Structure 1
Amino acid sequence: MTAQPGPVPPDRPASGIPVRVRPEIAALPPYKQGRQAGAEAFKLSSNENPFEPLPGVVEAVAAASAFNRYPDATAGRLRARLAERFGVTDEGVHVGAGSVSILAQLVQATCSPGDEVIFAWRSFEAYPWLAVLAGAKPVMVPLAEGARHDLDAMADAVTDRTRAIIVCTPNNPTGPIVTQAEFDAFVERVPGDVLVILDEAYAEFVTDATAVNGLREPGGPPRANVVVLRTFSKAFGLAGLRVGYAVGHPRVLDAARSTSIPLSVTGQAETAALASLDAESELLGRVAVVAERRDRLAAGLRDIGWAVPEAQGNFVWLPTAGDTVEVAQAFDEAGLIVRAFAGDGIRISVGEEEAVDKVLRIAASVVSDLPEAHRARG
């Protein structure tokens, strides 16, 4: 006899989901990565490094072929290497499957339902849903002029329910940095028991000497409530292996470790990260190439009339507002896959050298049709 489905409880949301799911999760769109590109197109949608892995990395990963064995759950070799690099204890480093996974752990560790997470907007699109997943309220503080963080407004937004604040510098997707002086003044205003997460995923590309550097001095962040996030996905070119790290107070990182999914960093990812650190001189040369290409692209876009904000990551930002979808379509038709944020703008990753002139050509073909607000003031 076949069991018949029972009556639908009256409190079940009309979402089409056959089981009971938290309403805020049912309403939350899944994360969407930058669209993949075909063989004839340039993929400029995911802030990936256009270079192949650093010398020695592929060989090291190939040698780490014990797929039948679990990895070291603590990524101990990499933690020790990073601890030595930044003058902290091993316990002051936490390694995760990309820095975003550690960010999720920190938010879950600090937030209960009804608590608040503050961040600038627009910023990294994962921030709102990471707060929601923890049952917290995302508090989105509008960016200031120049698409920069408004740290005064963010400090003003702190309440007795604030548990975490995220500062993304250079800001993804708009590009500007937070200066060291701005960050130091901001932290002075934040209560000492509120976690400040300094997301520096693009730190290696920064050329502005005034930029904040959470790891500028040995010993890690100067304050116990600050955790610095870094990643091997961007400058180091290991996006496909998923490995990032945090440096901060050991007890704060213990809280993150308690919420982490065990064994999420593979042995191959750890090996690749170690091999990448061994090739740092080559890395610095590649970063310099990307930074020069970025500056040239941003300057070219400004020259043809675009109001491009300061660019300090490996991407540039076009403030296309209500014309975003149409402009992105023009790039797409030309074989340039960019990242469109409907209603706000378009992020274009710095990719291969051959893509630069093509981006400028398409950008020039559409800028004259845009409202003056999107164009540079001359």
Structure 2
Amino acid sequence: MIGRVRPAVSGLASYRPGKAASQAEEEHGITGAIKLASNENPWGPAPAVVAAIEQAAAGANRYADHRATALRQAIAEWIDVSPEAVTIGCGSSGLLQQVMHTYVDPGDEVVFPWPSFEIYPVFCSTLDAVQVRTELVDYAFDLDAVAAAVTDRTKVVFLATPNNPTGTAVSMSAVAGMLGRIPDDVIVVVDEAYREFNDPGLGDPVTDLLPAHRNVVVTRTFSKAYGLAGLRVGYAVADPEIVVELDKVLLAFSVSGPAQAGALAAIEHRDEAMMRVSELVAERERVVTTLRRSGWELPAANGNFVFVPTGDRTGEINLAMEKQGVVVRPFSGLGIRVTISTPEENDRWMGALSEASGS
């Protein structure tokens, strides 16, 4: 081996993204495959957003504003917080990594329900942190178990709501109850990558949690609802003292000029994105209803995807769907996660699932 690789890295399995449609086509000798494995928005950004990105790209020979000052200000005005309570990162994943680098030392504990976002274990392993996983109950968080898992060695708790991959969500009143049971020097991250698709009746952590709980960090992204996954831009909202610390470990110039311009334009033209979100939510409900009528027992779906509990047949069903040109995200022994797309693509994958499963 070249160099002295850290043991935590040499034994680490890399983060596994959704398979590309082109890869499935090559593997199975097919054409016309569709990718529904990464929870991407099937529609591109609004035309005005594309124009802003193109204009910013003309200045790609210059570094962007490292602090993304204009974007922080726009987000602060949008969600009604002070600019000092906002920070920007390379997607919400980048912000999650910043939290880890800011607070977690080797041997510290990080608590999260499982299964959940697959990047959490990767970040833990690279820092030699101890993963403390709590089991889901009926695909949903057991917040009592999360609170009970916190010890004096716990530095961070991750709560993805809606949860990826199960799609279940938790109310902010329930999270507030959990926060009352854990020390206030434990950072609790409310990971809201799929916020725009969620039931608004479950509450908003920025208004419902942050005023009373200074240890909460809320992370959000422009990747899903706003169709900017390829630009990698997200934001976090937290107490200004936390933001100061997170900014210290922000990789220099990690949010490009086109990404900042696209996010600014997305905020300005957010009504167009929300119209698309409404269409996707309606499609999600149609898909859930159709699958349940076919006999599938699905958990609640609150993101831009559904989780189909295929259990021990997951590998078999996933392969059969791929051979039909439908690429989804398998979770071994548990089920498949499928992105909600256009009506035509949704009908196609439901048909592929029916044929693959014999249902």
1:260 aligns with 2:244: no
1:207 aligns with 2:199: yes
Alignment counterpart, residue 128 of structure 1, candidates 118, 121, 139: 121
**CA contact under 8 A between 1:208 and 1:312: conserved in structure 2?**
no
Aligned AA for 1:318?
V
**CA contact under 8 A between 1:43 and 1:351: conserved in structure 2?**
no
Alignment counterpart, residue 77 of structure 2, candidates 73, 84, 99: 84
- Cα deviation for residue 24 of structure 1 reads 2.0
Q: Corresponding residue for 2:25?
A: none
- Mark the CA change 1:117 to 1:43 in structure 2 (over 3 Å): closer, same or farther: same
Aligned AA for 2:295?
G
CA distance in 1, matches of 2:313, 2:200: 31
CA distance in 2, matches of 1:55, 1:216: 32
1:168 aligns with 2:160: yes
Q: Corresponding residue for 1:12?
A: none
Q: Corresponding residue for 2:15?
A: 31
**CA contact under 8 A between 2:64 and 2:256: conserved in structure 1?**
yes
**CA contact under 8 A between 1:324 and 1:345: conserved in structure 2?**
yes
Cα shift readout 1:337-365 (whole Å, capped 9, x = no counterpart): 10112222210001122112222222223
Cα shift readout 1:94-148 (whole Å, capped 9, x = no counterpart): 0011001010010111111110000010000000111122221111111112x00
- Cα deviation for residue 368 of structure 1 reads 4.8
CA distance in 1, matches of 2:4, 2:184: 38
Larger fraction in helix: 2
- Mark the CA change 1:298 to 1:208 in structure 2 (over 3 Å): closer, same or farther: farther
Aligned AA for 2:53?
V
CA distance in 1, matches of 2:206, 2:320: 41
1:228 aligns with 2:212: no
Alignment of 1:280-319 (within 5 A): 280-319=270-309
Alignment of 1:242-281 (within 5 A): 242-281=232-271
Q: Corresponding residue for 2:134?
A: 141
**CA contact under 8 A between 1:176 and 1:311: conserved in structure 2?**
yes
**CA contact under 8 A between 1:221 and 1:227: conserved in structure 2?**
no
SS at match of 2:8: helix
SS at match of 2:117: coil
Q: Corresponding residue for 1:72?
A: 65
- Cα deviation for residue 300 of structure 1 reads 1.1
- Cα deviation for residue 76 of structure 1 reads 0.5
- TM-score if structure 1 supplies the norm length? 0.89
- Cα deviation for residue 29 of structure 1 reads 0.8
Aligned AA for 1:236?
Y
Q: Corresponding residue for 1:4?
A: none
Q: Corresponding residue for 1:362?
A: 352
Cα shift readout 1:167-206 (whole Å, capped 9, x = no counterpart): 0000001001001221111111121110000000000011
- Mark the CA change 1:293 to 1:221 in structure 2 (over 3 Å): closer, same or farther: farther
- Cα deviation for residue 215 of structure 1 reads 2.4
CA distance in 2, matches of 1:366, 1:240: 31
Cα shift readout 1:240-261 (whole Å, capped 9, x = no counterpart): 0000000001111222111121
**CA contact under 8 A between 1:305 and 1:367: conserved in structure 2?**
no
CA distance in 1, matches of 2:300, 2:191: 18
- Cα deviation for residue 150 of structure 1 reads 0.9
- Cα deviation for residue 322 of structure 1 reads 2.1
Q: Structure 2 stretches of 5 or more lacking a match?
A: 23-30
**CA contact under 8 A between 1:221 and 1:228: conserved in structure 2?**
no
- Cα deviation for residue 83 of structure 1 reads 1.1
Q: Which range moves more in the overlay, 165-174 or 335-344? A: 335-344
SS at match of 1:56: helix
CA distance in 1, matches of 2:59, 2:48: 18
Q: Which range moves more in the overlay, 73-82 or 221-230? A: 221-230
- Cα deviation for residue 239 of structure 1 reads 0.2
The total of aligned residue pairs comes to 350
- Cα deviation for residue 208 of structure 1 reads 5.4
CA distance in 1, matches of 2:145, 2:303: 24
**CA contact under 8 A between 2:210 and 2:216: conserved in structure 1?**
no
Q: Corresponding residue for 2:48?
A: 56
Q: Structure 1 stretches of 5 or more lacking a match?
A: 1-16, 370-378
Aligned AA for 1:18?
I
- Cα deviation for residue 265 of structure 1 reads 0.4
Q: Corresponding residue for 2:184?
A: 192
**CA contact under 8 A between 2:157 and 2:187: conserved in structure 1?**
yes
CA distance in 2, matches of 1:324, 1:364: 13
Aligned AA for 2:192?
E
**CA contact under 8 A between 1:221 and 1:248: conserved in structure 2?**
no
**CA contact under 8 A between 1:214 and 1:221: conserved in structure 2?**
no
Alignment counterpart, residue 3 of structure 2, candidates 15, 19, 23: 19
Query: RMSD value over aligned CA atoms?
Result: 1.5
